[in-house]
Amino acid sequence: MEKQRTARVWGLIFAHARADGLPISIDTICHACADAFGAAGVTIALTGDLAGYEPVSVTGPAAHRLADLQVTLGEGPGPAALADRRTVLVPEVDRSETATRWPVFAPAAVKAGLRSVHVFPLLLGAIAVGVLEISHTVTRLLTPDEIGDALIFADAALLIQTHQLVNPDAGPTDLQLGQVERWAEVHQATGMVAAQIDADLTTAFVRLRAHAYVAGRSLREVAHDVVARTLRLEPWTPNLESED
Amino acid sequence: MLYRRTAQVFVELADTLVAGFDVIDFLQSLAERAVEIFDVDAAGIVLADPRGTLTLVAASSEEVRLLELFQLQEEEGPCLDCYRSGVAVTCADLSADPSQWPRFSAAARELGFSAVHAFPLRLRDQVLGAIGLFNAAPRELPEDTTTVAQALADVATIGILNERTLREQQVVTEQLHFALNSRVLLEQAKGMLAERAQIDVGQAFTALRKYARDHNRTLSSVARELIDNRTGMTDLIAAAKLIT
């Protein structure tokens, strides 16, 4: 069921990339997601060293307004989802609880014509690279099926952002491409590699995936070898400081 | 006897549903206690990922092959059937009808399990996941045990949702996603500790658990600190090296 969902969502993303004649990027995912949900706006914001919440791709004028507000105020469902590393679903923006939680953001969002916002962090354990926000002009809660799709869009953004190397010949049914692995060994291997190369988990995850890609093997196979200690990754660059 | 032990466990679990609550700690305790109460050889809890797959979140033992046996059930097995139907699924003897779950039965029997019982984690008409109980010897569960097992599954549901009154579907989705991601973070921490202390991932879990208990902290907070502080927590590393 998840595999079909993954293939379907990636199919939408690929179709967009083909129509644009461009490789898949964060923008592709943002636009494909907006189409799929008939959303008033979709925003993908990333978290970096300089800014905690930095919108990098936004569709629709209302979402632009929403993103600007959240950047300026530092409050709203997007920054909240990033800070708490949690899914934040706001089916009714103009409800008193929402206004209590975000006193400046909530009325401004209503004024911009938005009535519901669903935020999904780009998250894999301790790895958090940003958020995907889907907003509508009507009060609504996404259905469980829609939430499942939204999470796959968020997974896709996480993979692209962590430098997924997209093979131009790959298709949407190429599961190597689409799935954020839920097998425990992949996460264990990520932790092990982080210690081996003395880097954070995001970097370790990128290294692990790059290794699998270059070796033409599945992420699970590579992770298995790391956990079994038949494969070790070394730090990227030699330590030059000792020459000083 | 069954009731007295169960009552004790319920009181203990109720104690955990307070401030500083950690969903992973809670489910872990529940899986371990299930083994004692029901006189089974292994127990595990799987949750439905909103994307549409079943994922293991806690098990009575972190033995790798046991974890894989639970994970295998995202495709077939008693936990999946239980999740889909919303009712208890029990099999007193896996060898009686190997065609029921060919891959799962073979893997379970290879690990020495003959009987398996799965109980749904239900919230009104929604099923969040399942708790699975395994026995080495063929075994029918007595009716009173079945009743108590379902009660324990209901307690698990309360713990995951961590809310006294549940009015909102959005809270269910947010909590479920949070619980699943907490498990991913724990796996990453297991890997990191395994590498730093040069032990295997199962031992790393034991060390994390012991450290959390000795310092009166939650498993998730210890895992988080280990990940965020790559050169620190030297007392945990030193203790972990002694595990072997």
Query: CB B96: neighbour CB atoms within 10 A?
Result: 11
Residue B166 has pLDDT above 60, yes or no: no
Q: Are residues A33 and A61 in the same domain?
A: yes
Considering the domain boundaries, does residue A70 fall inside one?
yes
Q: Are residues A121 and A10 in the same domain?
A: yes
Considering the domain boundaries, does residue A14 fall inside one?
yes
Considering the domain boundaries, does residue A167 fall inside one?
no
Considering the domain boundaries, does residue A175 fall inside one?
no
Q: How far apart are CA B100 and CA B106, in angstroms?
A: 11
Candidates A185, A198, A199, A176; CA nearest to A229 is A185
pTM: 0.84
Which pLDDT does position A175 carry in this prediction?
Answer: 45
In the listed set A131, A161, A191, which residue is the last one of a domain according to the structure? Answer: A161
Considering the domain boundaries, does residue A65 fall inside one?
yes
Q: Are residues A141 and A200 in the same domain?
A: no
Find the closest chain B residue to A144 by CA distance: B50
Residue A218 domain boundaries: 181-227
> How sure is the predictor about B157, in pLDDT bands with cuts at 50, 70 and 90?
confident
* Beta carbons of A182 and B49 less than 8 Å apart: yes
A123 vs B68 pLDDT, higher one: A123
* Beta carbons of B193 and A191 less than 8 Å apart: yes
Does the beta carbon of B188 lie under 8 angstroms from any beta carbon of chain A? yes
* Beta carbons of A85 and B169 less than 8 Å apart: no
Which pLDDT does position B165 carry in this prediction?
Answer: 47
Q: Are residues A107 and A53 in the same domain?
A: yes
Does the beta carbon of B197 lie under 8 angstroms from any beta carbon of chain A? no
Q: How far apart are CA A52 and CA A99, in angstroms?
A: 22
Which pLDDT does position A1 carry in this prediction?
Answer: 60
Q: Are residues A36 and A148 in the same domain?
A: yes
Name the segment(s) of chain B with CATH classification 3.30.450.40. 2-162
- For residue B183, give the amino acid letter: R
Find the closest chain B residue to A123 by CA distance: B181
Answer for the pair B62, B28: CB distance below 8 angstroms, yes or no: no
Which pLDDT does position A164 carry in this prediction?
Answer: 57
Residue B68 has pLDDT above 80, yes or no: no
**Alpha-carbon distances, residue A199 vs A113, A183, B162, B192 (angstroms):** 43, 22, 34, 11
Which pLDDT does position B143 carry in this prediction?
Answer: 87
- Chain A partners of B49 at a C-beta cutoff of 8 Å? 2, 151, 182
Considering the domain boundaries, does residue A19 fall inside one?
yes
Superfamily name with CATH number, domain B2-162: GAF domain (3.30.450.40)
Q: How far apart are CA B40 and CA B133, in angstroms?
A: 6
Which pLDDT does position A124 carry in this prediction?
Answer: 92
Considering the domain boundaries, does residue A47 fall inside one?
yes
Which pLDDT does position B204 carry in this prediction?
Answer: 96
Question: How many structural domains does chain A have?
Answer: 2
- Chain A partners of B52 at a C-beta cutoff of 8 Å? 1-2, 5, 148
- For residue B42, give the amino acid letter: A
Which pLDDT does position B201 carry in this prediction?
Answer: 94
Least reliable range by pLDDT among A26-35, A116-125, B172-181, B209-218? B172-181
Which pLDDT does position A169 carry in this prediction?
Answer: 52
Q: Are residues A191 and A157 in the same domain?
A: no
Q: How far apart are CA B108 and CA B38, in angstroms?
A: 19
Q: Are residues A82 and A197 in the same domain?
A: no
CA distance B226 to chain A (A): 10
What residues in chain A have their Cβ under 8 A from chain B's Cβ atoms?
Answer: 1-2, 5-6, 85-91, 123-127, 141, 144, 147-148, 151-152, 155, 182-184, 187-196, 198, 200-201, 227
Which pLDDT does position A243 carry in this prediction?
Answer: 39
CA distance B5 to chain A (A): 32
- Chain B partners of A123 at a C-beta cutoff of 8 Å? 181
The CATH number that applies at residue A115 is: 3.30.450.40
Query: CB A166: neighbour CB atoms within 10 A?
Result: 17
The CATH number that applies at residue A200 is: 1.10.10
Which pLDDT does position B164 carry in this prediction?
Answer: 44
Find the closest chain B residue to A91 by CA distance: B170
Considering the domain boundaries, does residue A236 fall inside one?
no
| Residue A117 CA neighbour count, 13 Å, CB half | 32
Query: CB B165: neighbour CB atoms within 10 A?
Result: 6
Question: For residue range A165-221, what is the model confidence (pLDDT) as tens digits?
Answer: 554 455 544 545 556 666 789 999 999 999 999 999 998 998 898 888 788 888 889
Share of chain B above pLDDT 70, in %: 92
Q: Are residues A104 and A146 in the same domain?
A: yes
- Chain A partners of B46 at a C-beta cutoff of 8 Å? none
- Chain A partners of B185 at a C-beta cutoff of 8 Å? 125-126
Which pLDDT does position B187 carry in this prediction?
Answer: 95
Residue B223 has pLDDT above 60, yes or no: yes
Grouped pLDDT means (10 residues each) for chain A, 244 residues: 81 90 89 95 86 88 90 92 91 90 92 94 93 95 90 91 59 53 86 95 89 84 95 74 42
